[in-house]
Structure 1
Amino acid sequence: MAGAVPWFARHPRVVQALARAPYEGRVQIERTHVYFAEFALGAVVCVPVRNEAERLPACLDALERTIVRSAGDSCGVVFIINNTTDNSADIVRAWAGRAGIAALVCEVTLARGAANVAFARRLALDLAEGVSRRDAVLLSTDADTRVGADWVARMVAAVRGGAAMVAGGIEADAAELATLPPKVHHVGAVEQTLGDLYRQIWARLVPGEACPMLLTANGASMAISATAYRAVGRLPTGARNEDRALADAVLRAGAAFSAEPSASVVTSCRLDARASHGMAETLAARCKDADPDIDERLGDVPTFVLHALVWRLLSAPSQDCSDVVQRVAARLGIDPHLLRAAPGLPRWRRMAAIIAAGPPVRPLTVSEARAEIYRARGVLAALPDEAQPIDACASLIMEKLDDAGR
């Protein structure tokens, strides 16, 4: 960490965070500005910024509105303005100087290989964790995003209500969405259809529980308790989808993950990427590729339904399910002992190990996903509406998979 200013010396947790990986030699702090408060906040919104002068005013207006309307916890903002060549920093500083909201504006240069959204978001979260209360709520959004008026209040309430991490709702900017090529809309429609079918199948096979494989988080609208953030090792920077990787870490730890769709934001769906590994890069690839990949969470039907049975097995008494264990393990090509009930171990941690032990799960292309939609409809039609014992569910699934293989 080069160029650190004296302000950091007053915050030992910040100094400690910046002295370890992944920051050594990769972050040059150019300027730091603190507005309106020494930090001991109950909630902090983290915003990475890179060349966002055009969209920042709307983002900042929305942030001011939601923070002013939030009640209870005092709330501030940490901005990481990285590798920027426009006047984004001037816009943020001017807003911070007049808004009357506690803000840390940090202008940095990230080294080659670190100048991406995951690294910038990690830095924002680490600074926020370092200057806030130990039990603070850390929220994340983007500079091309407009948060809803009650976004902070709803996200904070969900964390204070017991969730370790919360995924907020996300809507695409309608005007920008209308300008995207038809192919991008088609990919989105295929993803939506297959995802909806998987949720319906899951509800029949695992009634009363959300599907952890379909839970997701997006850095434009998420929150995590500072306690959970520290416990899971902070935001991963080696993953392309750093927000989802953080959600996976929370689930593996056995902590509560919830969705709060009413805490919604409107985000850009532009094609000109400001940073690598972001949404714009994904949309641009979908415009260019002849048969682009869909969301990596949506694998093939056999794997999904077998994983649904695994989820049931991980909480079922092993003595009642020995036949199902053997059949599912054989289908997945894994050791049956991995499927035995193990009280005290978080289910998602064991689920992740089982997924890793099986065959690699690769993203589907759009054409492959269309074929999986038909298979998913067939499986759904074969499952009764009412809840069934796991052995009955397994028999129906195995029969359907055998029919598909013939």
Structure 2
Amino acid sequence: MPLHPGPGLLDAVVAIPVRDEADHLPACLEALAQQQQSAGLAVLLLLNDCRDGSAGIARRWAASAGIPVLLQEVRLPPAARHVGEARGQALDAAALWLEACGPSSSGEALLLTTDADSRVAPDWLQANRRALGAGADAVAGFVEYDLAAAPDLPPALAARLQAQARYAALLARIDSLADAEPHDPWPRHRMASGASLALTLAAYRRIGGLPRLPVGEDRALAAAVQAAGLRLRHAPEVRVATSCRRLGRAAGGAAATLARWQAEPELTGDPQLEAPGAAWRRAVLRGQARAAHARGGLAGLAPLLGLEAAILDPLQGPPFAAAWQEVERRSLRLAARAVPPALLPSAMLAAQALILRRGGVQAWR
């Protein structure tokens, strides 16, 4: 049974979907138990048709954790047996728990989520709270693969993961030089991973909850936050380590991607890891479109965006992020193409040169 804090004493709930995670769950839970300044924190574990020892591990930890813990055991129907539904149900239950406890005495109620095969840093909760206190409505943390805990990881795959992380940091620097956002200043990153997402309860209700997608529900949540005109902070100080397993629980998820890269090393990765020149042009166009949207004249950029003015006119009304998402969806000119793995070293050199030419410093990593 969960511990029930009194009214106003609970202001942050971490929602975690769990399915057969006995190997990783103890480290995940121990990291949560070690959080600094954890007053007001609770944990909700949604145990999704677990058939290993995960439920027992969760019950034993709940009995000794010293913080409120709520366990929910479910068996999702086949059509909804995916991480989007499981994480969504966990977050929905966490939101109801926060609301049942009444208004918080310490400020805005906070929903967080991580993965059962991940370990949050000791200051994870504290760093999320600082970012939200600085004006963000939602926070995407920085997630790193735990290479040290994966001795069986092929060296070539480990090198690729490290190179992609360094390159992503360079592209984030390019973004900040070409299209700086006041609420998401440098240093920042570009990811939105279910291993580290946080948002206010009010923001979660405003976007209607987590999009129930079989894959990519984390990025969809971030996109929904931005499309609603809310402020998303990509905070590099909010850190999480996640496993490098290649046999995962979600079809098409991170583990499946690593397995494909191991089997076929030349497969391209995330389309967001595009060539530096393309990333610069995209960010410049986004900045121009942002300014035009604020002036009420987005349709004037039709030739640059490769779209008809009739398509852009209706996009003047929604928040800019929603309009830009639609522009990227419709414009063939803005279709992203990932740099092939073999070309990552030269792409990194080109990105560094571009950053220096534009007056920027190196990436934060």
1:191 alignment counterpart: 164
Q: 1:385 Cα deviation (Å)? A: 2.6
Q: 1:361 corresponds to which residue?
A: 335
Which of these residues, 248, 266, 269, is aligned with residue 294 of structure 1? 269
Q: Is the 8 A contact 1:299 1:361 kept in 2?
A: no
| 1:216 aligned partner | 191
2:98 to 105, 126, 132: 132
**Cα distance between partner residues in 1 of 2:337 and 2:141:** 24
Pairing partner for 1:171 from 144, 154, 171: 144
Equivalent residue for 2:79, pick from 97, 113, 116: 113
- Choose from 104, 118, 136 the match for 1:145: 118
Q: Measure how far apart 1:107 and its partner are.
A: 0.8
Change (3 A) 1:336 1:271: same
Find the aligned partners of 1:223 and 1:274 in 2 and give their Cα distance.
Answer: 22
Q: Secondary structure at the match of 2:78?
A: coil
Corresponding residue for residue 208 of structure 2: 233
Q: Whose radius of gyration is greater, 1 or 2? A: 1
Q: TM-score, normalised by structure 2?
A: 0.81
**Pair 337,130 (structure 1): closer, same or farther in 2 beyond 3 Å:** same
Q: Work out whether 1:265 is the aligned partner of 2:240.
A: yes
Q: 3-state SS of the aligned residue for 1:34?
A: coil
- Stretches of structure 2 lacking an aligned partner (at least 5 in a row): 361-365
Q: Distance in 1 between matches of 2:82 and 2:119?
A: 21
- Structure 1: which amino acid aligns with 2:58? V
Aligned match for 1:58, one of 10, 19, 27: 27
CA drift of 1:140 comes to: 0.6
Following the alignment from structure 1 to structure 2, what is the Cα–Cα distance between the partners of residues 247 and 280?
Answer: 21
The worse-fitting range, judged by mean Cα deviation, of 121-130 and 295-304 is 295-304
Whether the 8 Å contact between 1:190 and 1:369 is mirrored in structure 2 is: no
Q: Deviations for 1:106-135, whole angstroms, at most 9, x for unmatched residues? A: 111112132222221111101001110374
Instruction: Supply the distance in 2 between the matched residues of 1:82 and 1:314 (Cα, whole angstroms).
Output: 43
**Residue identity opposite 2:2 in structure 1:** V
Query: Shift of the alpha carbon at 1:102?
Result: 1.1
- The aligned counterpart of 1:18 is none
Q: CA deviation at 1:181?
A: 1.6
The answer to whether the 8 A contact 1:137-1:159 is kept is no
2:129 alignment partner, SS class: helix
Report how far residue 207 of structure 1 moved: 5.1
CA shift digits 1:123-163 (9 cap, x unpaired): 11010011103742001111112222221122123223321
Indicate how the Cα distance of structure 1 residues 142 and 38 shifts in structure 2: closer, same or farther if over 3 A, else same. farther
- What is the one-letter code of the residue matched to 2:18? V
Mapped partners of 2:56, 2:43: distance in 1:
16
State the identity %: 32
Q: Distance in 1 between matches of 2:150 and 2:279?
A: 30
* Aligned residues of 2:46 and 2:90 also touching (Cα < 8 A): yes
Counting matched residue pairs gives: 348
| Aligned residues of 1:117 and 1:276 also touching (Cα < 8 A) | no
Runs of 4+ in 1 over 6 A off after TM superposition: 211-214, 337-340
Structure 1 gaps of 5+ residues are 1-32, 387-406
Moved more, 298-307 or 122-131: 298-307
Alpha-carbon offset, residue 75 of structure 1: 1.4
* Of 256-265 and 213-222, the range deviating more from structure 2: 213-222
Paired amino acid for 1:100? G
